[in-house]
Structure formats: structure tokens, C-alpha cells
Structure 1
Amino acid sequence: MLELSHIGVQFGDKQVLKDISITFQPGEIIGFVAPNGTGKSTLMNVIMNYLSPNKGKVILNNKLKYSNKANEVKIHQAVSMMPDQSDLYNHISGKNHLKIYQAMWNSNPKLIEDTIVKLGMASYVKKKTGTYSLGMRQRLCFAMQIVSDTQVMLMDEVMNGLDPTHVELISQILLQKKAEGKTIIIASHLLENLEQYADRIFFMKNGDLKLVDELAPEFTDKKVTTVRVSNFSQELFEVFKKQFPGLHVQTLPSGITLIDVSEQDTATLGDITQYLIAQQLTDFSFGKLTLNDLYSMEYQQR
């Protein structure tokens, strides 16, 4: 278990993190979502003790804190952070990188070959990393994190540069590690499929963590909560609001209009459908709020 207790970080007059207190449990995947420059990496660096907070403590398993060098070594035996591509040595092979990480954390050597196979790296893993593509380097960084096999794994922008096939492959490995009881914390501004595997997702804004489920309780609903409409002109938008005054309607910067129907009955859904068709607005769908919708509402509203 990893606990952050009243973490605060300030750079000059700017308060980057404000009194953050949260606990991460074993067997849990956590997502931090925010644009660049809003504190994701700062929070990760505090967890790793690469940056000392102005106030607050990081506590591992109810007892270990960064109070001295010996404790820092013990915490880093259990808490690791996925390396950045700039951390790779271009003159040595991917496999040697994996061997280094396995030796540093004294994990099971079998993890090296297992991870190579699962990530489809066999054809290039013995080549020098200086010959790797962006996607190959990113997979190697992820593989190094997996080989460390620590209790808590931090990953900053894990899906960068990956094609959809490898995004899905890594997602499945993350779920496997969750089943093994790992605590996985992922910071990202790329939202593709994050909601499919994360147990809790937090938006970071103005130095605070905001749980998505609290911002929009209907986000986790399985029932139809939202009508998504394309090409809703401002004129039709105003007419629609007068026709259905009890509905919450908003247009996102992407041009998509969202109609909240979470509390509406079947008859009202039918009336909405008939109205949209009558106005020749045939490009619409019924579903639920997506993480992209919520991100746009939180960070990109006009």
C-alpha cells in the first residue's frame, strides 16, 4: 500500500500540488489525466523522492518514509518508475537493458524471456537500442519496468508512440500485473482505452486531484446517459433547449453536442430521436460519457 499524506509542492509563487492525500491499494490501476505542465510528473517525482515536497510525506506499507537514505533504498526496492527513452544506452542491446533491470531489483530471471515473448520483441531485442524505432524503444522501456517486478509501478506516458496493436497488448499486461497484486500508477494525457483498465481515474487541475467518478457520477453507469450529436448549429441548439427545457445540453470544442438523458424515460428518448431526425440531424448516437468527453469539459471548454 502506498499513501500520500498532505503533499504540497510550490515553485516560487506557483503552487503545483496542494495538500494531496490519497492511498493506493494493491491490485489497483490508477490513472492521472491532465494536459502537460499541470503536475503529473511532479507528483510522480515526489513519490520517487526525486523531488522533495514542501510539505507532506510518502508512506509505504504504513511504515516506511523517506526519512533517511536507508529507508529510501528500501522504498526503491518496492517502488519503481518506468525509464524514459532518454535513459536508454544506444550502444547496448535491449536484452542487456532487461538484464540490468532484473539484476538491479533481483527479480526472477525468467521474467526477461517471458516479457520478450509477450511484447513480441524477439526479432530485435538483441540489437543495439540505437537502431530501434520510437515504438520499439517505448516497448523496451515498458519491458524494463515489468522486469523490475516491484510492488508499486509508476508509468509516465506509457502508451507514447505505440500503434493500436501494442496499446492493446500493453493494456493486457497491465491487467495481468494488477491480478498479481501490483499497484500501478499511470500518468497520461492520452486517453485511448485508459478507462477500460483503470480502477480509478483522477484529473489533475489547479494542484488538486479530482476523481472522475465524483465529477460525473454517470461516467460509470452502464445504461444510456448521453446523446452525442454532430453538426448541431447554434440556431438549432437554441431551439432544442426551448423544446426540451429540462435537459442539460452542451457543445464541446470538438463540435460534438452532448445531451444528458441520464434521468429521462423511454418516451423522452423517443421524442429526442424524432426531433433530431425532423431537423435532418441524422449523425447522432446514444451511449455514455467517455473519458474524452469529460477531459474536454474539464480542460477545453470555450
Structure 2
Amino acid sequence: MIELKEIGVRFSGRDVLKDISVVFKPGEIIGLVAPNGTGKSTLMNVMMNYVSPQTGQVIFNNGLGYTSKKNEVKIHQLISMMPDQSDLYNYLSGREHLKIYSSMWNSNKQLIDQTIAALDMGSYINKKTGTYSLGMRQRLCFAMQIVSDTQMMLMDEVMNGLDPTQVEIISRILEKKKSEGKTIIVASHLLENLEKYADRIFFFKNGELELVSDLSPGFEQKELTTIRIEELPDAVSKLLCKEFPELDIQTLPNQVTLINVQGATSQQLTRVVAYLQEHSVTEFNLGKVSLLDLYSMYYQKA
């Protein structure tokens, strides 16, 4: 468990983190979503005590906090942060890196071979990392954190540089770690696959966290709330708003039109669908607002 209590960080007179209070629980995957440079990495650095907040405190299991060096050593046996590619030693092999991380956290050595197999790294794991591609280096960084086997894991941009197959593999590993009771926090500006495995997703803006399900009720429950239309002609959009003034209809900066039908009756839905078809709009989806749509709504506002 990680509890943030009124965390505040200011750099050059600007609030990077503003009175953030939230609890991250065991067996939970948290997504932190925001463009680069908005404070995601700073928040993780505060949790690791690499950055000291001006206000507030971070509390771990049984009330443990960063109140002494002794406590910091105890906490860092419970929590790890995925290394950056720049932290790799080009003259060491991938396997040697995994052995180092396993030894640092005194984890089960069997995890090394299990993780190599799960990430399909066997063909290159014994080669020096200086020969690795960006995708191979990224997989190694992820593998290093997995073999640490800490109760809490922080991952900053874990999916960067990975192809769809590797993204899917890592997603499955994250879900497995969640089932083991780990607390996993994934910060990213890439939305692919995030909503499939994250239990809660927060948007990060102006130094504050906002739960996505508060922005779009029903999002995390996968409710059918929205008719989604790509590139709806302006003329039809205006007619639609006039015909159905009771519905919330908006066109996003990505040119997707959303019709909020949460709570609408079956008769209302039938009328809307019939109206779209009458105006030659046949390509639309009834589902929920996607994370990409919400991202566009939230970050493209004035």
C-alpha cells in the first residue's frame, strides 16, 4: 500500500504537484496519463524519495515513511522503479543485469529464467547490451524490475519503443503480477492497451490527479454510454444537435463526434440511430468513451 498525503512540489515558482492525496492498494494496477513534462515522473520520484516534497508525506505499509535513512532502506526493499535505458551497462550482458537486480532485492533466482522466457529474450540475453536495439533494451529494463519482485513497482513509459506483440506480452505479465498482490503504477503518455489492464486511470494536469471515472462515469465499469462517430459532417452535426437537444453531443479535436446516451431509453437510442441512417451516416459504434477520446477532451480544452 502507498498513501500520498497532501504532496506538494514546486519548481521555479510553479506547482508541479499540488496537494495530492491518494491511496494505491495491493493487487491494483494504476495508470497515470499525461503529456510529457506534466509531473508524472516527479510524482514517482517522490514515492522513491529521489525528490523531497515541500509539503506532505508518503506512507507505506504499517505507517512506514521516509523519516530516516534506516526507514528508507526498509522501504526500498518494498518498492522498485523500472530503470531507464541509460542505466544499462553496455559491456554487461542482459543476464548479468538481471542477476544484479535479483541480488539487490534478494529475490527468487528462478525468476530470471522465467522472465527471460516470458519476454522471449533467450536469443540475445547473453549478449552485451551495447549490441541491443531500443526495443530489446526496453524489454530488459522491464525484466530487471520484474526480477526484483518487490511488493510495489513503479514504471515510467514502460511501453516505449515496443511493437504491439511485445505490448501484449508485457500487459499479460502485469496482470499476473497484479494477481500476486503487487501494487503497480504505470505512468505513460501512450494509451495503447492501458485501459485493458489498469484498474484505475488518473489524468495528470496542473499538478493534480483526476480519476478518469469521475470525468466519464461508467468508464471503468465498461458501460455502454456513447455513440462514437468519426468525421461526422458539420451540417449533419448541427441538425443532430437541433433534433436531440436533450443529448450531450460534442466534436473532439481529433474529429470524433461523441453522443452521450448514458441513461437514454431504448426508444431514444432507436430514434438517434434511425436519424443517423436517414442522413447517410452508417459507420458508428455504440460503446463507451475510449481513453483516447477522453485524453483528447481533457488535454485539448482551452
TM-score exceeds 0.5: yes
Q: How does 1:1-302 map to 2 (within 5 A)?
A: 1-301=1-301
Deviations 1:169-193 (A, max 9, x none): 1111111111111110110111111
Task: Return the alpha-carbon distance in structure 1 between the equivalents of residues 117 and 60 of structure 2.
Answer: 32
The question of whether the paired residues in 2 share the 8 Å contact of 1:6 and 1:57 is answered with yes
What secondary structure does 2:218 align onto?
helix
1:224 Cα offset (Å): 2.3
- Secondary structure of the 1:289 match is coil
Q: Quote the Cα distance in structure 2 between the aligned partners of 1:266 and 1:192.
A: 32
TM-score, normalization by structure 2: 0.97
- Structure-2 change in CA distance of 1:83 and 1:222 (3 Å): closer
Judge conservation of contact 1:221–1:288 (CA < 8 Å) in 2.
Answer: no
Conserved 8 A contact 1:19-1:56: yes
CA-atom RMSD in angstroms: 1.1
What is the alpha-carbon distance in structure 2 between the residues aligned to residue 177 and residue 226 of structure 1?
32
User: How many residue pairs align between the two structures?
Assistant: 302
Quote the offset at 1:221 in angstroms: 4.0
What stretches of structure 1 move > 3 A for 4+ residues in a row? none
SS of match in other structure, 1:263: coil
Runs of at least 5 residues in structure 2 that lack an aligned partner in the other structure: none
Indicate the larger mover: 218-227 or 165-174. 218-227
> In structure 1, how many angstroms separate the alpha carbons of the residues matched to 2:219 and 2:94?
40
SS in 1 for 2:10: strand
Counterpart-to-counterpart distance in 1, 2:197 and 2:233: 36
Structure 1 residue runs of 5 or longer lacking an equivalent are none
Secondary structure of the equivalent of 1:21? strand
C-alpha contact (below 8 Å) 1:155/1:185 kept by paired residues: yes
Per-residue deviation at 1:217? 0.8
- For residues 206 and 287 of structure 2, the distance between their equivalents in structure 1, rounded to whole angstroms, comes to 30
1:269: Cα distance to partner? 1.4
1:128-156: CA deviation from partner (whole Å, max 9, x where unpaired):
11111111111000000000011110000
Following superposition, the deviation at residue 222 of structure 1 comes to 3.8
Cα distance in structure 2, aligned partners of 1:42 and 1:301: 24
Task: Name the aligned partner's letter for residue 132 of structure 1.
Answer: Y
Contact 1:229 1:285 in 2 (8 A): yes
Alignment identity in percent? 64
1:179-227 deviation per Cα after TM superposition (whole angstroms, max 9, x unaligned)? 1111101101111111111111111111111111111113134442111
Instruction: After superposition, give the CA deviation of every residue in 1:237-290 in whole Å (9 maximum; x if it has no partner).
Output: 111111111010000111110001112112221211121122112221211111
**2 CA distance for matches of 1:222 and 1:69?**
44
